Structure 1
Amino acid sequence: MKLFSRFFFAAVLTAVLSIPAAFAQQSDTELQASVQKALNNSSFKGVRVSVQKGEATLTGSVDLYDSKSRADKKATHVKGIVGVRNQIEVAGPDVPDAQLQDKLVKAVSWDRVGYRTTPFNAISVGVQNGVVTLGGYAWGPTDAASAVGLVENTKGVKDVVDNITVNPPSPMDDGIRQATYRAVYGFAMLNKYAIDPAKPIRIQVSGGHVTLYGAVDTQADKDAAGIRAKTVSGVFSVDNELQVANQPSEKK
């Protein structure tokens, strides 16, 4: 038995010592070459790579924030890289914050139009010094990712902060969403808002609590939307955050 154990140990030791060099730890120079190969694309032509102790540092510039984000992901996925310091600058055009915000608000409101989830996304957009902060709520992860991707691919965006809350899966909330949609948009006084594919009245539901976001033409329309939402079976409460055109936002 002891003789067998010695032979077994010797065999294992021989196998370990004969592991191909390809599986040995790569040097920083080799890792740098691997990262550069992963970034071999025209959108990363202005990116420079350095590696020290397995950590990659990305510098240089790109035209879109999306390119900066993708460079980070590609470098992170290179085998042997233990961390990534992304110091890439977005050198696209400088767009005034107000102009960029108006453009993005419109784009995000139209994003995913044609999908049944559109009226249930209430995603906010803020811009300061080219840094875009996304907040609010998304019906699901696909809707949230779509909004983020749209912003990242917009010229003038220097950075993106994703603070979107994704609603957890809930058959009960889904039923309330559909019922609230029918109650609000099916009401004769509010049916005119269904003409806009971007659906200006957004319906957020969480644990049976409904919040209405968006904009309407009059205070009467806002009040009617809130009343209609309260008639839906299973709704615990309604928070009416609808904004009346040309008036400051006010809860009711």
Structure 2
Amino acid sequence: METLNTPTTAEERLADSDITAAVEQLFRLRKGVGANHIQVATQAGVVLLTGFTENLLARERAADIALAVRGVCGVVNQLEVKPPDVPDARLQHDVNQALQHDPAVCHYPVSCRVHSGTVTALGTLQTWAEKRLVLNVLKGVRGVRSVADRLTFRGSEIDNTDDEITAQIRAFLDWSIRVNSALVEISTRDKVVHVSGTVGTAAEKEYVVETAYTAGATRVDAHNLLVAAWALSPELRRNKYAPRTDAAVAKAVHDVLRHDPRLTGFAPAVLVKNGVVTLTGSVGNLRAKRSAEQDARGVVGVWEVENQLLVPGQAPEHAASIRQHLQEALARDPYVGHYTFSPEVQNGEVQLLGTVRTHFEQQHAEEVATGIDGVTRLENRVQVQPSNSPFAPQNFPLTGGYESTPQTVPDSTLEQRIRNHFFWCPTLHAQEIQVAVERGRATLTGTVDTWLDRKKAARDAREAGARDVNNHLRVATPGPLE
């Protein structure tokens, strides 16, 4: 691997107290964590989270938010989970239904036992990625306090030698827009992967570890993989975004799709022309279609994705069944289960109707709906009524948060909030992004390095309180090789 010189200048140091204040502020602004019940402390860049959340998804969301803060080297998540009481018999039913009706995991040989809110998952899967999907489904059931992981995986699908595991990890990292692989060293012995070197953020470190498991590692030692802001330097990443041939990009996209268990059993066709990827063929559900596009956008050299994947339609007589499964999935979700939704279904096309308190819950309800087998198209018509509205739903959970209306936040205040979000984002703070706010609508202009940066900038603006975002950011594109 090419050796890169590290900077000799003193690296910018961010005070622990400033990092703590930034994490606390993000918890207050970003919904779905329950900021009032979380305590934050930072020592030498490592963030400690204590207190409690109302569900496992909120616990993980809190850690993910902290991991993505500039200056954070790691997160110790000691948050407890205090969900609403759900009788074990009911929770057992909901867990079984969640597994049965999730199109990605419904055929996996998994069984669960429930006791006092703890779900014990049993079974043998093919890969670590399948195991993670199962655990995510269980964590998304309202009332689950913890998940005892007793799942194993045979690894028959990924039965690589040590050299093959190392090569696979290297290929994944080289083609991923998320991490500068030139600064990461990898070695494997008896399927235990050792990673060292430097990454730019704590979130990148987590991504490297997950990538190693996806490639077939039985254990990952990342103690010697350091987090340092200088690793985000554009100069060091210039080779990362160097032009690639369309053929090489197409192969990389194929490889990424092949390792996504949400796409198991499907083989989307990939055509690349001048860095534009066109996906054709069919997949089994709407979530798989969206996942394929997201996977493709994460590959270096991809500048745009035309998602022409088809989801087979359903006969009219299946509409009632789809509607029932959709309502049940929304009802058992820890974020939106307390709301009432009235979806309309015709030939697999869904109009999602209802009222929630925050844009976060609106988008989360859509995500839940995309995972229902038989949903081919989704129009999210869920209305957002903030907590200070007379039409706001009642009996909201702790993790919902407070959704300010555009009228209650001056444009100048909202603009500063957005700029603060960008300042504390490791990948955005040094990029040339201009922000303008008018009547609660944010307009973003300038150029960013990747599609991921463009998407994150828009999401950060919404989470800062913008009622809408005009995202005119351009992605720097050196152009494909001839």
Length-normalised TM-score, structure 1: 0.51
- Does the aligned pair in 1 maintain the 2:253–2:296 contact within 8 Å? yes
Decide which of 266, 277, 293 is 1:56's aligned counterpart.
Answer: 277
Where 1:35 maps in the other structure, the secondary structure is helix
Distance of 1:176 and 1:152 partners within structure 2:
25
The offset of 1:175, in angstroms, is 11
Shift of 1:118: 4.2
Q: How do 1:77-226 residues align onto structure 2 when only pairs under 5 Å count?
A: 77-91=298-312, 95-97=314-316, 99-101=318-320, 103-105=322-324, 107-108=326-327, 111-113=330-332, 115=334, 118-119=337-338, 121-168=339-386, 170=387, 172-173=388-389, 177-178=393-394
Structure 2 residue matching 1:74: 3-state secondary structure: helix
Query: Residues 100 and 36 (structure 1 numbering): CA distance in 2 closer, same or farther, change over 3 Å?
Result: same
User: Which consecutive residues of structure 1, in runs of 5 or more, have no partner in the other structure?
Assistant: 1-18, 182-204, 208-252
The percent of aligned pairs where both chains have the same amino acid is 24
CA distance in 1: counterparts of 2:354 and 2:243, whole angstroms: 45
CA distance in 1, matches of 2:305, 2:347: 25
Secondary structure class of the residue paired with 2:258: coil
Asked whether the 8 Å contact 2:355–2:393 carries over to 1, the reply is: no
Change (3 A) 1:146 1:101: farther
What corresponds to 1:34 in structure 2? 252
3-state SS of 1:123 partner = coil
Gaps of 5+ in 2: 1-236, 396-402, 406-482
Contact 2:249 2:301 in 1 (8 A): yes
- My pick for the range that moved more, 105-114 or 138-147, is 105-114
Query: How big is the shift at 1:108?
Result: 2.4
The answer to whether the Cα contact below 8 Å between 2:256 and 2:295 also exists between their aligned partners in 1 is yes
Q: CA deviation at 1:104?
A: 2.1
Q: Aligned pair in 2 of structure 1 residues 47, 140: CA closer, same or farther (>3 Å)?
A: same
Contact (CA 8 Å) 1:136, 1:165: kept in 2 or not? yes
| Contact persistence 2:326–2:372 (CA under 8 A) | no
Amino acid across the alignment from 1:140: T
In 2, Cα distance between the equivalents of 1:22 and 1:206?
Answer: 40
Across the two proteins, how many residue pairs are aligned to each other? Answer: 158
Answer with 1 or 2: which has the greater Rg. Answer: 1
Q: Flag the structure with higher helix content.
A: 1
Rate the CA distance shift 1:62–1:141 in 2: closer, same or farther, 3 A. Answer: same
Report the CA distance shift for 1:113/1:62 in structure 2 as closer, same or farther (over 3 A): closer
Tell me if the contact between 1:108 and 1:150 (Cα under 8 Å) persists in the aligned partners.
no
C-alpha separation in 1, matches of 2:327 and 2:309:
26
Cα distance change on mapping 1:148 and 1:98 into 2, 3 Å: farther
